[in-house]
Amino acid sequence: MKPLRLRILFFAAAAFFALGTIPAFAQAPVEPAQLPSRTVFYLIWRGAPAPDVRKANALMALWDDPDFAPVRSALASSILSSSQEKSPGQKLTPEELQEYASLLENGFTLGYIGEAPKRSVASAPVSKDAKPPAWNGMFFVYDRTGKESLIAKAILRMRAQQKEAPVLTPLVLGGVPVLKVESKNGATYWADQGKFAVSAGERSVMEQILGRINGKSSAAASLAQSFAYQEAQPILGRGVLEFFAGVPDLKDLASDSNAGGFQARPLLEAARIDAIHSIGGHLALEGSKTHMQAAIFGNTAPGTPFDIWPASPGSPASIAFAPADAVSYSAGQINFMGVYSIIKRIAQAAFPQGQQGNADMLDTLAAARLGMPLADALSLPTGEFASMQTSPSLDTAKQVYFLGIRKKPETLKLMRALFSDQLTSERNEGDVTFLKISLGGKQGSAGVAQWNFFNVAVTPDMMIGASRAETLREVLANRAKGPAAAGLTTVPQFQASRAQFPENLNSTSYFDFQKVDWQGLRDRLVAESKKDSAAKSLRPAKKPAASAGMNLDWLTQVNAQVFSRHLHYSTGVSWKDSKGIHWDQWLE
């Protein structure tokens, strides 16, 4: 593994525990305005928040609460268990992991710079079979203030774990002493420049980053001058965590070479990847709230990947089923025909000229299985899908799922074709058809071997699913009360959240943490964990897996009230406009 990748791995593991520290606030070593114009991706961590910011924030206060310690310890055990099969010298102890976690008290910038276009110059003939070395445009800049000795310790540890000693070559790039570290996996460049530790996978990338840090490339084009970055700038430039990824031009994303008879560019062109310009977002601590924003920016005209989301979604019909005391509710909209069109274009582009008709085989095979053309089947759902939880202990038996439909008779025909032998019963009650489906077996000529049943109620405009039929009847009874009944839309905090955003939303989510019975949830999870353990003990012995996952015994040590003490509710939405698709999430 390359040293740069090892270093990033240390930071990723330490991230689980950095929230447990109380450091001073730090700025990012390199901001977007300093990055080269060919920067394809960056992730900025501006340092752990200051104590006063941290104390005021509900999520941070939860993490710091002494009653939350068992959860932090469980996370530590989970991370450490992933390396139990390593040699003793390679294992991280809890003390070492906590020590390395303190590295995230300071800010860093991680990114990738694309390769510059190659110029055609006269040179000696090169074998057509010769492959140029793979481009590694990754770079990493870390504010090492107060962490110099810990960084040195981490590097020595990583090098000690390498089977072969790397070749170390001192260089000078732009007047800065640089160490080139070469191994069988490639080369990495390291340097200490002022208060920064800098690493890169390419010499030219190292030169560019050092030049930016030293201010010697101020006249050069920067990422901030690019159209893609400027388009995404409204949600960039703030928060403790920020990320941006620009989508390269097709000429950079895939060459038109006929490698092994396969060309990637026609498929990307058929998918209209060029319509996506960038992806960006940030995480910010705003008083007691944690605010997350993200977006995919681009050309949302018809015929692009943005067809996945409908242009003018209406209000979700499923919200009429949600009572005011619902613990959680989420709904989304997807354009099934838009997805179908994209897949169909890609399938056609995959065949040579004159053979595009072979892509119709997908429709033919689907029609034989569904009993109707695929396009007709995909037109039956309205595109709305939703879920709801009404149990304070988050009992899965009370979890309900919704799918908006058109043409109930055709939908039932499709359900019968899809599930055939798994459909165990069907009965009508008024305008509602109840179906019982086995998810664990089929009915054969020799008899019935079925289990793990799922129940579905099909109304004229909705399919409603739950593990128990009683749950479906409760949901249907709630809507039967009519619009005068108090539903989720009458809850003040739900109304206040909804009023902040555009009228037409592609998705909405709501979770009321104050309605959760945390004690009941904890007891239920512990009981289910013991039940699963007892069932496993009766099975034939097998070779233990490398990682058994997180043991839930720690739940018995958690004071369940720690969650209600800090968490109140979470709301989120997404919407589509002429600039792209946007997501906005609040946690308080």
Which of 18-32, 129-143, 358-372, 560-574 holds the top average pLDDT? 560-574
Of residues 201, 208, 206, the one with CA closest to residue 136: 201
More confident residue, 585 or 78: 585
What does the block give as tokens for 14? 């330490």
- Confidence bin at 354 (pLDDT 50/70/90): confident
pLDDT of res. 125: 52
Give the C-alpha separation, 247 to 297, whole Å. 10
Contact 467, 396 (CB under 8 A): yes
Q: Give percent above pLDDT 70 in the chain.
A: 81
Residues 6+ apart with CB under 8 A from 549: 78
Q: Which residue in the block uniquely carries the two structure tokens 């689980």? A: 16
Bridge partners, 241 (sequence order) = 45, 283
Give the C-alpha separation, 62 to 285, whole Å. 14
Cα angle 335-339-340, degrees, rounded to a multiple of 5: 115
Residues 6+ apart with CB under 8 A from 529: 552, 553, 555
pLDDT of res. 23: 41
Distance of CA 58 to the CA centre of its chain: 23
Which H helix or E strand runs over 455?
Answer: strand 453-458
Average the pLDDT over 366-373 and give the result. Answer: 86
What does the block give as tokens for 521? 């949830």
Residues 6+ apart with CB under 8 A from 410: 372, 376, 380
Return mean pLDDT, the chain: 83
Give the C-alpha separation, 211 to 274, whole Å. 31
What does the block give as tokens for 546? 């490398």
- Confidence bin at 332 (pLDDT 50/70/90): very high
Residues 260-291 as b or e (16 or more Cβ within 10 Å = b): eeebebbbbbbbbbbbbbbbbbbbebeeebbb
Q: Would you give the end-to-end CA distance of the chain in angstroms?
A: 40
Contact 397, 388 (CB under 8 A): no
- Confidence bin at 484 (pLDDT 50/70/90): low
Residues 6+ apart with CB under 8 A from 381: 336, 403, 404, 405, 406
Give the C-alpha separation, 526 to 551, whole Å. 10
Lowest-confidence pick of 237-246, 431-440, 442-451: 442-451
- Confidence bin at 478 (pLDDT 50/70/90): confident
**For the whole model, what pTM was predicted?**
0.85
